[in-house]
Structure 1
């Protein structure tokens, strides 16, 4: 199958590209910068330059493609509406014109319940637009990536820096992006997934406090916790919304407020695994993911300390000792 992957340089997209190539798919990746995406070419993917916000670049990229996996999302510096709404509309319309047979879209779990949050409202609207497009779609709804926990919790704890959390954190069922990639590819292979929406979440929902405790145990360090009151978060969201140049900050604070609401972001997955033909026992748990990370990092730190102490011993003084 000839497959176009959008967002292939991202945390999730690169795992989808890797898994698709390993399974023998003919992979093309829509990228904005060929140099930054050179690793995809080295893996065996074809690169085509394009931009969701430039519709004229999409038709050539889709030429000859049978399916799309859309894992793209706005970066912190991007305007969410332009990329996640206007850009996705452009892509779906281009898919209609070129006769693409399958479209896999990554949304967000419970997007329809938080339409006051710009990013989640846009994801929900995109779901509706895709469902009405006439394309054979599958919508996958993750709640959070395990990869994001490294910079949020693990690195600050190892560096003795503050870990910022809200007063009341939501339990989130994080999933490894490698496991999400398996669901994306299986959606192309299982006919029953056509025109359906599924949650794609981890085996257990974790609060911020539970993740910190796990990191402390695995690193043998004590975390420095700094709490942001939910009221302050809401004030900052309202304040930044007043100014045009801070709209993007306001939108992301709104999403952060959802994560701090105390309402769990999780869903039952038993039937999903059955439909996709995947084994839940093979899904990475948060404990094993963080254990592997800390073991690799701590081993590396020990090696660096050993090399440093060894070099100090070898260092000779330029002065001779007097008798």
Structure 2
């Protein structure tokens, strides 16, 4: 198995899960100052390559049966280069080299929100993959639990301000470990071949509900600074006129989706059946945050209960 984007939040969980299930795992990693030693320590093989340079890709695909593509642009990177051009290059390389299965992570409802550049690119990659001639599985994701720690849990514990919006958008968050588990199930199951499936958590939450849950578990009141969605939309309208702020404009385009009060969620009964899994195997957001807060509050108690330094939230 080749994992692309193996150093990311989701990619590393896929690598660990695949290794635990007995796969020989190869990771495509870019040449970097801080090499991905932890992947090799786990037992994976790393191959250097640059997604923006197609000529560096073929060597990583030699002898590979399944590709899991978890790569996406970082905030400082060119989204178009990574999430469209590089994806096309990877799919072309995989198809030409006879890869048997290509697993691609997309975004829930990407086909319904073409006004958002990233969602439009994800939808276009889905269509490109469908006509590639390879067996594929597209996993559309709603949202991850992990970013909620730095975004909401830590500020609550530190009694620091946090940002919220006044929208009614709801998201069914998943633990990335559960996404990795579902991914490996999809790789094993013939029923998942040439399927587009949305992976959703047990329940969807608004930002207000996530903050309230953190307040309850952390035993502290959050200092919330609300940003009206209309302000985000106005900011996008301003930034889109300037070439050097185009990436910011693209990201602020999500404000258009927020304003619609969309629900990033989906029924999972059929998906669990396809994957051969049970809903009880999926971690709920309450369980995830409760485990986090219990560990951190225990650690704070051990050191005297006064410190709120970030060192304790690693």
Aligned twin of 2:311: none
Aligned twin of 2:12: 14
Q: Secondary structure at the match of 1:10?
A: coil
Q: TM-score scaled to structure 1, two decimals? A: 0.92
Aligned twin of 1:314: none
Q: How does 1:1-323 map to 2 (within 5 A)?
A: 3-33=1-31, 35-305=34-304
Q: Once the 2 structures are TM-superposed, how far is the Cα of residue 118 of structure 1 from its aligned partner?
A: 0.3
Distance 2:256 2:299 in 1: 36
Q: Judge conservation of contact 2:229–2:258 (CA < 8 Å) in 1.
A: no
Q: Judge conservation of contact 2:67–2:102 (CA < 8 Å) in 1.
A: yes
Judged with a 3 Å threshold, the aligned counterparts in structure 2 of structure 1 residues 293 and 260 are, in CA distance, closer, same or farther, namely farther
Q: TM-score scaled to structure 2, two decimals? A: 0.95
Distance 1:198 1:208 in 2: 25
Q: Judge conservation of contact 2:300–2:306 (CA < 8 Å) in 1.
A: no
Q: Which runs of 5+ in 1 are unaligned?
A: 309-323
Deviation per residue, 1:85-115 (Å, 9 max, x gap): 0000000000011111100000000000000
Q: Secondary structure at the match of 1:26?
A: coil
Judged with a 3 Å threshold, the aligned counterparts in structure 2 of structure 1 residues 101 and 257 are, in CA distance, closer, same or farther, namely same
Q: Secondary structure at the match of 1:130?
A: helix
Q: Judge conservation of contact 2:233–2:255 (CA < 8 Å) in 1.
A: no
Deviation per residue, 1:160-198 (Å, 9 max, x gap): 122211111311000000010011111111111111100
Larger Rg: 1
Q: Once the 2 structures are TM-superposed, how far is the Cα of residue 33 of structure 1 from its aligned partner?
A: 3.7
Q: Once the 2 structures are TM-superposed, how far is the Cα of residue 307 of structure 1 from its aligned partner?
A: 10
Distance 2:65 2:85 in 1: 23
Deviation per residue, 1:114-162 (Å, 9 max, x gap): 0000000000000000001111000000110000111111111112122
Distance 1:237 1:175 in 2: 29
Distance 1:114 1:307 in 2: 46
Q: Secondary structure at the match of 2:85?
A: helix
Q: Once the 2 structures are TM-superposed, how far is the Cα of residue 6 of structure 1 from its aligned partner?
A: 0.4
Q: Judge conservation of contact 2:54–2:89 (CA < 8 Å) in 1.
A: yes
Judged with a 3 Å threshold, the aligned counterparts in structure 2 of structure 1 residues 192 and 226 are, in CA distance, closer, same or farther, namely same
Distance 2:38 2:25 in 1: 13
Q: Judge conservation of contact 1:119–1:255 (CA < 8 Å) in 2.
A: no
After superposing the two structures, state which structure 1 stretch, 22-31 or 158-167, moved more: 158-167
Q: Secondary structure at the match of 2:260?
A: coil
Q: Judge conservation of contact 1:166–1:260 (CA < 8 Å) in 2.
A: no
Alpha carbon RMSD of aligned pairs, Å? Answer: 1.3
Q: Judge conservation of contact 1:173–1:265 (CA < 8 Å) in 2.
A: yes
Q: Which runs of 5+ in 2 are unaligned?
A: 308-314
